Amino acid sequence: MSQRIKKIFKNKNKKLVTFVTGGDPNKKTSNEILDSIIKHGADLIEIGMPFSDPIADGPTIQISSNRAIKSGANLDTIFNIVKNLRKNNNDTPIILMGYYNIILHYGLDNFVKNCKLAGIDGLIIVDLQPEEDIELLNKLNKNKIDLIRLITPNTTMERLKIIIKNASGFLYYVTITGVTGRQSANMNELKKIIKNIKKYTNLPIVAGFGINNRKQVREICQYTDGVVVGSSIVKIIEKNLTNKKNMIRLINKFVKELKKGTFE
């Protein structure tokens, strides 16, 4: 298990996890956004690996992936962004999120080696099933990099047992069915499912998808160890492409506000 992730969840405060696509809208701005997000309250950060066909993502994140690719972003860009972040910050866990195709294309050994060198703590691979992950899992385990699993409202208890068997770091509960950036979570359903999951694992559970304000953060944190917010931050980037100063100011304000919800 990643020591940074382990350490951050030892403290029982609720966690704010933020997502942005790496390299969006360009490498320099992406670095500034991530650096700023950390300084304004994010406890863990997820960086999306740009991909031309992100099937689990809604339009906002799909478009951000396209912007990053158009600006020339690839996996090497992402590794460089993480290395830059690590120059000033050796504590905040950094997780890469994306699709297995990109990793296979890059080469498993090369990918895991560069994750380790850059200071990456975990991976969320949305289309990699537990039945097909053994090759990657073995390489990650050797390098103390977590493979973080997704659980959805449709996950059966039988399936849950298979998913958590080799999961590490934390579990990511997807609060809604469908793609990112859609409707918000049903609190009664969330409470019941999280309670059930906790019967089978001691791993921390964070919830994401459809979370876009402080009130939702506060409500969800009653039942989970933290929340993930992504599309709402990416939307701020999209709306302020011609005004970087305003973009970063609004992201900072939003992240600070979300973080307050974790304390309430």
pLDDT digits (tens, 9 = 90+) for 90-140: 999 999 999 999 999 999 999 999 999 999 999 999 999 999 999 999 999
Choosing from 24, 35, 43, 57, the catalytic residue is 57
Q: Is 135 a catalytic residue?
A: no
Average pLDDT over residues 54-79: 91
pLDDT tops 60 at residue 76? yes
Task: Give every CB contact of residue 136 below 8 A, 6+ residues apart in sequence.
Answer: 100, 103, 108, 112, 125, 128, 147
Predicted TM-score (pTM) of the model is: 0.95
Q: Is 57 a catalytic residue?
A: yes
Choosing from 35, 43, 46, 121, the catalytic residue is 46
Query: 19: closest CA among 71, 56, 72, 70?
Result: 56
pLDDT for 177: 64
Average pLDDT over residues 61-86: 96
pLDDT for 57: 76
pLDDT digits (tens, 9 = 90+) for 143-163: 999 999 999 988 999 999 999
pLDDT for 175: 87
CATH of domain 3-147+227-263: 3.20.20.70
pLDDT digits (tens, 9 = 90+) for 202-258: 999 999 988 999 999 999 999 999 999 999 999 999 999 999 999 999 999 999 999
Cα 98 from Cα 100, distance rounded (Å) = 7
pLDDT digits (tens, 9 = 90+) for 154-190: 899 999 999 999 999 999 999 876 555 445 667 888 8
Express as a percent the part of the chain with pLDDT over 70. Answer: 95
8 Å CB contact between 174 and 57: no
Domain map of the chain by residue range? 3-147+227-263
pLDDT for 178: 55
pLDDT digits (tens, 9 = 90+) for 3-59: 999 999 999 899 999 999 999 999 999 999 999 999 999 999 999 999 887 666 788
> What would the 3-class secondary structure string for the chain be?
CCHHHHHHHHCCCCEEEEEEECCCCCHHHHHHHHHHHHHCCCCEEEEECCCCCCCCCCHHHHHHHHHHHHCCCCHHHHHHHHHHHHHHCCCCCEEEEECHHHHHHHCHHHHHHHHHHHCCCEEEECCCCHHHCHHHHHHHHHCCCEECEEECCCCCHHHHHHHHHCCCCCEEEECCCCCCCCCCCCHHHHHHHHHHHCCCCCCCEEEECCCCCHHHHHHHHCCCCEEEECHHHHHHHHHCCCCHHHHHHHHHHHHHHHHHHHHC
Place of tokens 């690719």: 69
pLDDT for 181: 47
